[in-house]
Amino acid sequence: MFTTTELAQVLFATALQPSDRLSPVQIREAVDERLCACGGDASWCAEYVAQEAGDHPETYVRRMRWALSAVADAYTLAAA
C-alpha cells in the first residue's frame, strides 16, 4: 500500500499535465502504469521528483500540489 505522498510522486513522474483535466480513473490508471514501468518501486519516482525540484523549482510546487490533490481525489473516490 502506498501513501498519498508516494502516489503523488508517481503521478508527478508521468507526462500528464494539470491542464489535461483527467478523471479519477485516468489518474489511477496513469499511476498504475508508471508503477508497473518502475517494477513497483516508487523510490525511482521520488528520486525523479527530487531532481525536478532542483532543476525546475519554479514549476515544482505547482505540479506537486496538483499531483497531491489529484491522487487524494482519485483514491478517495475509489475507496468510497
In this prediction the pTM is 0.89
Condensed to tens digits (0 to 9), the pLDDT of residues 21-43 reads: 899 999 999 999 999 998 898 88
Angstrom distance (rounded) from CA 44 to CA 3: 15
Region 41-62: mean pLDDT is 91
pLDDT band at 78 (very low <50, low <70, confident <90, very high): low
Report whether pLDDT(3) > 70: yes
More confident residue, 78 or 64: 64
First-to-last alpha carbon distance for the chain, in angstroms, is 17
